[in-house]
Amino acid sequence: MTNKLPYFTEGNVVKGFGRGSKELGIPTANFPIEIVQQLPEEITAGVYYGWAQVDEGPVFKMVMSIGWNPYYKNTVKSMETHIIHKFKEDFYGSNLKVCMLGFIRPMRNFSGLDELISAINKDISDSEEALDKPENIKIKTDNFFATKSRNTQSSSGATCCI
């Protein structure tokens, strides 16, 4: 898994399950299935930390869930990015660039919603701590975030690079 990190990818933000903001109070930006399908096998289901950018805006810390979310019994693998920043409005259709830098924990099930929310909040805290390390801060200014998006609003929104 770690030999494929850092992993850079981008694509258009699509509507997810609608649980992040409403049920959990932790909004996520979701990639289309085409982006999820391009993940290398070595990037296993779990929670990752890294950097994210919407359109050509600022680069923010992020935490990302990759997998089937066993608590919700999802049947489709997803990549759900929680950008650690308060946005004023939704940005569906916008280009999202992410760089996954590290692994936090494997996917797991939870006995209740409160336990799930607590785990996500710990993931966010762990991500912030990891991203404050000098070796991770320097990735925030990587050319990947400085260059114009290669994603030209294709029908699938799919672009990917390593």
Could you tell me if residue 146 is inside a domain?
no
Could you tell me if residue 161 is inside a domain?
no
Q: Tell me the CATH number at 100.
A: 2.40.30.30
Whether residue 103 contacts residue 5, with contact meaning beta carbons closer than 8 Å, is answered with yes
DSSP string computed for 19-48: -IIIIIS---EE--HHHHHTS-TTS-SEEE
Q: How far apart are CA 66 and CA 24, in angstroms?
A: 17
Could you tell me if residue 93 is inside a domain?
yes
Q: Tell me whether residue 80 is one of the annotated catalytic residues.
A: yes
Range of weakest confidence among 83-87, 136-140, 157-161: 157-161
Could you tell me if residue 159 is inside a domain?
no
Separation in Å, CA 6 to CA 41, 111, 114, 145: 14, 32, 31, 14
Give the pair of three-digit tokens for residue 145.
């975030």
Query: For the segment 118-143, what is each residue's pLDDT rounded down to a tens digit?
Result: 999 999 999 999 999 999 999 999 99
Could you tell me if residue 12 is inside a domain?
yes
Residue 69 pLDDT grade (very low, low, confident, very high; cuts 50, 70, 90):
confident
Whether residue 49 contacts residue 139, with contact meaning beta carbons closer than 8 Å, is answered with no
Q: How many domains does the chain have?
A: 1
Could you tell me if residue 66 is inside a domain?
yes
65 or 154, greater pLDDT: 65
Among residues 42, 56, 80, 115, which one is catalytic? 80
pTM: 0.86
Mean of the per-residue pLDDT values of the chain: 86
DSSP string computed for 56-76: TS-EEEEEEEEE--GGGT-SS
User: Which domain does 7 fall in, by range?
Assistant: 2-134
Closest to 96 in 3D by CA, of 127, 57, 132, 125:
57
Report the 10 Å Cβ neighbour count for 106: 11
Query: For the segment 140-158, what is each residue's pLDDT rounded down to a tens digit?
Result: 999 999 988 765 433 333 3
Could you tell me if residue 13 is inside a domain?
yes
Could you tell me if residue 152 is inside a domain?
no
Report the 10 Å Cβ neighbour count for 153: 10
